[in-house]
Chains A and B, each alone.
Chain A
Amino acid sequence: AQSVTQLGSHVSVSEGALVLLRCNYSSSVPPYLFWYVQYPNQGLQLLLKYTTGATLVKGINGFEAEFKKSETSFHLTKPSAHMSDAAEYFCAVRGSGGYNKLIFGAGTRLAVHP
């Protein structure tokens, strides 16, 4: 069975500091992994995805994530936080059984302070 664990339900950083949001997964099939961002009163937006190929994936808004099979991790990073990055972030893994079902983590709320 597939599952996702996001370490830290709340993360707070200073503007300009490194952002690191942690995601670990378990999967019985080759993992396809996704990060989504949710701004207040909006739906989830895709930040980036890993399916195959290069393990360092770049996404929108300066975010990137690295797939590490040995660590079953897919952590999200951004070198320099901006106030506009304050949002909730969800990591997801492809579910089994096809049909593009996703298994989501519980989410991490990122706060950015001046």
Chain B
Amino acid sequence: DQQVKQNSPSLSVQEGRISILNCDYTNSMFDYFLWYKKYPAEGPTFLISISSIKDKNEDGRFTVFLNKSAKHLSLHIVPSQPGDSAVYFCAASEGTSGSRLTFGEGTQLTVNP
């Protein structure tokens, strides 16, 4: 099942700089996209979401961009902080499928002090 793909297994950035995490999808029926953050031995924590009717959503240091024509979304974290170090998952759902989430593989973000 490759409907949601995160091609970078890891990303390392310096504290204070921008982190950009990318996600691609193939299912054109997806209409709601989410980013989750996960620490070891914990469940995914919701960060931010975007509906397919928008191309940008912002919440504090987190901004999600959606490019529907490219079937691509990205999460920008500015400025990055060491506490942001975690695995980040993108997920998608179809409105008709009762909110079932399809997850990407995850990207391990490391923010170095």
A, B: real partners: no
